[in-house]
Amino acid sequence: MATCPPRILNPQGIKIVKEVYEHYMQGLDLTLIRENLKLTPSQRMEKFERAMKLFFELQRAGQRMRANEAASQTQPESGADDS
């Protein structure tokens, strides 16, 4: 008959594993997981594609904004006193 190694049966070790598990679970929103599991795989893929489309739109908007800011910083100010 096979037995478990002593370190697995150690109550202190079990307590540490439980503490790590509870700490991990504190930051996990199970409602989002449950809601996504209610969707079919194709619905989840569509949701993912919409999220990626939004991500890339926001990324392009940020790139345009930074390019416009950089361009406005390199142009001399109009109405500057040249004398």
Q: What's the pLDDT tens digit per position in 9-53?
A: 566 677 778 888 888 888 778 898 899 999 999 999 999 999 999
For residue 24, is it within any domain?
Answer: yes
For residue 36, is it within any domain?
Answer: yes
Structural domain of residue 56, as residue ranges?
13-71
For residue 44, is it within any domain?
Answer: yes
For residue 18, is it within any domain?
Answer: yes
For residue 4, is it within any domain?
Answer: no
- The pTM of this model reads 0.53
Q: How far apart are CA 69 and CA 62, in angstroms?
A: 11
22 CA to centre of own chain: 21
In the chain, the number of structural domains is: 1
What's the one-letter identity of residue 82?
A: D
45-67 pLDDT, tens digit each: 999 999 999 999 999 999 999 99
For residue 83, is it within any domain?
Answer: no
For residue 5, is it within any domain?
Answer: no
Q: How far apart are CA 33 and CA 60, in angstroms?
A: 29
